[in-house]
Amino acid sequence: MSVRAPTELGLELAAFVPYRLNRVAVGVSNHLSDIYRERFGLDIPEWRVMATVGSRHGCTAQHIAESTRMHKTRVSRAIAHLEERELIERASSAADRREREVRLTKAGRKVYAELVPLVLERERELLACLTKEQLRGLLAGLDALESFLGLQD
Amino acid sequence: MSVRAPTELGLELAAFVPYRLNRVAVGVSNHLSDIYRERFGLDIPEWRVMATVGSRHGCTAQHIAESTRMHKTRVSRAIAHLEERELIERASSAADRREREVRLTKAGRKVYAELVPLVLERERELLACLTKEQLRGLLAGLDALESFLGLQD
DNA sequence: CACAATTAGTTGCGGATGCAACTGTCTGGG
DNA sequence: CCCAGACAGTTGCATCCGCAACTAATTGTG
């Protein structure tokens, strides 16, 4: 199956899947970030840290970095900002004092509890533009690409 | 606070479509950039400028910015780098002297001619991990999402 | 024809980011 | 028991990026 005419010499970015994927991912991210940026003042790394910490009962920066695939310095700085805003708190782990256990504060849990439903609703709105077959195909395509690229968890 | 099942209110990033799209797009972009970064020393903005200019016979920075949806300053700086490397050249437009017509130099056309087949081959390799059904679903999903997000050309 | 508004493109600046080097802590082979 | 190496996390530094302000040229409107 050919994506474009095989005789074409040039490259049309608008039909080039890596480029289209990037553009759609950025568009979806912007569409979503309206919520956590404008309403809660979070940027992308901070939102991802909140999402990761909120779905567990405490975790390390190392775990957040692996889970979100962000660079450890990006995680470190996002954690520092969130700690300043008192949305998360850290305690040195007793078992390994190199580690610091990250948890949501009461204020952080409040933000998380407000934010998650809004974000899931945005996802639902977004996916509503797809037919069931398109959604199934898109998810299957993402599965296959994640597998090919070694991105599975 | 009330007891709740984490799967009801919690958010699992690994199953969250905006996050999966971003991760796959970054992975695909890295997979692709091995070619233009390591073999030709181009970064992403430079590669996109080359791809846009190469498929036309001269265009303006404005056109490149619209076509690639990059910020005009990002385009301006990429063009400056490529001009230093003598892969592109600029000439003031006679019709509108604010504009500068961007073209590939001979060296630029050589890089473009080598690069495009390699990049298209990478895209083919990537898409080969998908079944026909998955590819059709993915492309249909991208179409629908681009339309929903107002990203059509 | 004059001048305000618009457009193409560049640049100063503050903030974000990744890499490498660093601190402090843990661990395993001798 | 000790020290080299590994590991968690932070920070200095160079670079990248977008916003806003700027220059220069064009267009529209009276």
Mutate to test the interface with B, among A43, A129, A145 (most CBs of B within 10 A): A145
| pLDDT tens readout for residues B77-119 | 999 999 999 999 999 998 999 999 999 999 999 999 999 999 9
Q: Residue B101: which H helix or E strand, with range?
A: strand B100-104
Measuring CA to CA, which residue among A10, A5, A3 is closest to residue B117? A10
Residue A3: pLDDT band by 50, 70, 90 thresholds?
Answer: low
| pLDDT tens readout for residues B59-77 | 999 999 999 999 999 999 9
Q: Is any Cβ of chain B less than 8 angstroms from the Cβ of A27?
A: yes
Residue A78, pLDDT > 60, answer yes
Instruction: State whether A18 and B32 contact (CB < 8 Å).
Output: yes
pTM above 0.85, yes or no: yes
Q: Is any Cβ of chain A less than 8 angstroms from the Cβ of B3?
A: no
Q: What is the reported pLDDT for B103?
A: 97
Block residue for tokens 């495009």:
B116
- Tell me the CA distances in angstroms from A50 to A21, B3, B45, one per residue in order: 25, 19, 31
CB contacts under 8 A, A 68-87 vs B, are 68-69
Compute the distance between CA of residue B62 and CA of residue B66 in angstroms, rounded to an integer: 6
Instruction: State whether B149 and A13 contact (CB < 8 Å).
Output: no
Compute the distance between CA of residue A126 and CA of residue B141 in angstroms, rounded to an integer: 11
Nearest residue, CB atoms, A18 vs list B28, B129, B137: B28
Please state the three-class secondary structure of A91-116 as a single string. EECCCCCCCEEEEECHHHHHHHHHHH
Q: What is the reported pLDDT for B58?
A: 87
- In this prediction, residues B113-133 reach a mean pLDDT of 94
Block residue for tokens 């998360």:
A88
